A and B are shown apart, each in its own frame.
Chain A
């Protein structure tokens, strides 16, 4: 295809007429290729506020697009499409459809925080990446990531009991993410635990799978944490307009 800078062109913007004749000349196929320009026709002004409302996104409005985050980025070194500077810009200007094109790679941030230390204006790009991935999930653009599922299982257990029981966490995590419980590495780990741990500790670990131990006097802390979490969730739902989204979806059904 005789087009330069192909990387700048999105395939859906290439228009090719299979059969077309202009003034008696057959210009079918590649001869009739047209590129539709990708024009931004409006800004979604709510977008920046929505992401800023999520933990980590608070300082996104400080960005002046110097690119320090992107050029210090661990993931960008491997995948040039991973560009925090660009995404921050899309969010700030409200170019939602453009951001959604990259929804399947935004979660890949490894939280190395090199950007956090490079940023001259304390935007905390790592936090923004986290908030953006969170936003994509809350808005239903991406399914819950494995790490979100793990976080939920983990924190639910801690909040409920004040303790964490590894066996239960792993079983629920594997189940919810559709993974087999019998993983070679896990079997090997259990074998070695059985071989090397003192019998008293093994007994306690085993029992913990059947009874649910709780931290003494935990209920006060549990209630406080639950109240805070539900406040935060209600705030996020409100700023992101999630209840309206749900209503709209119900109306469509």
Chain B
């Protein structure tokens, strides 16, 4: 049996890659810097996932059990990689715990970092307790406590969800679309309406990008069945009159300024490149693309290739990605590793 494969990051992509490789009899070492596996869906406490509707702890928790329970998967939590040297088929990785391991390849499944809303102070996050992020609302739902105003615990009567917080904004150097926030927000709006039928939910948008089949299941359904209201306006600022949050902007469809009182404002925060990407780039010798994500080669011949032979990449390390696609990419990268091993074995043999 050849040397193990190093998988960096235990989120959906890493878990999928580890399980696929182990299933084909390939040993792997799964390195995770946090104290638990599962990635953002587990660490950030997501509620029900899009599009399955399954609770994150069940769906991703199942992936964790399946990968971590496999005898060929060696899990190392609270561990990072400090150096990675050698060449395809013969790398040496030094881990933060001092261990040195010989591996034949690496798959970077290092994911993303949520945008920090404090970088858009005009939208009130950090100033008003009732301005929260989609991640916080996910936690309110997954904890079972329900959606409540953080200031006094009351049930909100009117909620505004602001899209593109930390996305599509040159002012803060983030030109990309984070891809999933529209769908997640539409889903969240329905969850709020389901829990609090008297609460009106407004989504302020520039464009709605519930791509593909999400159109019916999220955008149309949220309007047609849950009466969620969509207003085409990019909000200028969130202030307060002492009682309510005041959302100011221009309703572009009526060419009219708006100053609307709300109980709660939710930032649909985007996906930033992982803050560790500069170090990862240095350690593994992979290029970053201009936005700061790991640069991925085209995938016509093989999936998940980087500029460095023997280092593969999958999931939202390469840019904003859905959970489903991260899993698919993890599996594809695993297959690419096996393909390469097979090809080089033939050449040697």
Which A residues form the contact surface with B (CB < 8 A)?
Answer: 8, 37-43, 45, 48, 61-62, 64-65, 86, 89-90, 92-93, 95, 98, 121
Contact = CB atoms under 8 A, between A and B. Distances in A.
Contacts of A93: 229, 231, 251
Contact of A65 (B202, B253, B260): B253
A62 B224 contact: yes
Please classify the interface of chain B as helix (H, G, I), strand (E, B), loop, or mixed, using the class held by over half of its residues: strand
A86 B254 contact: yes
Given A39-B256, A92-B229, 8 more contacts: A37-B257, A39-B257, A39-B259, A41-B260, A48-B227, A61-B223, A64-B223, A86-B254
Interface in B185-233: 200, 202, 220, 223-224, 227, 229-232
B224 A39 contact: no
Contact of B200 (A38, A45, A90): A45
A92 B253 CA distance: 12
A40 B251 contact: yes
Nearest to A41: B259
Contacts of A65: 232, 253
Interface of B: 158, 200, 202, 220, 223-224, 227, 229-232, 251, 253-261
A171 B158 CA distance: 53
Contact of A89 (B223, B253, B259): B253
Contacts, number: 50
Contacts of B261: 42
B160 to A, nearest CB: 11
Given A38-B256, A40-B256, A61 B251 contact: no
Nearest to B228: A61
A180 to B, nearest CB: 43
A98 B254 contact: yes
6 contacts: A39-B257, A40-B251, A42-B260, A45-B200, A64-B223, A65-B232
Given A61-B224, A61-B227, A62-B224, A38 B232 contact: no
Contacts of B254: 40, 86, 89-90, 95, 98
Contacts of B255: 8
A48 B223 CA distance: 13
A89 B255 CA distance: 12
Nearest to B224: A62
A64 B224 contact: no
A43 B253 contact: no
Contact of A38 (B158, B220, B224, B257): B257
B249 to A, nearest CB: 10
A62 B223 CA distance: 6
Given A64-B223, A98-B254, A43 B260 contact: yes
B185 to A, nearest CB: 15
Nearest to B231: A93
A96 to B, nearest CB: 13
Contacts of A61: 223-224, 227
A37 B223 CA distance: 30
B250 to A, nearest CB: 10
Closest CB pairs A-B (n = 3): A40-B258, A39-B257, A40-B256
A54 to B, nearest CB: 17
A42 to B, nearest CB: 6
A61 to B, nearest CB: 5
A93 B202 CA distance: 9
A121 B221 CA distance: 12
Nearest to B200: A45
Contacts of B258: 39-41
Contacts of A95: 254, 256
A48 B232 CA distance: 18
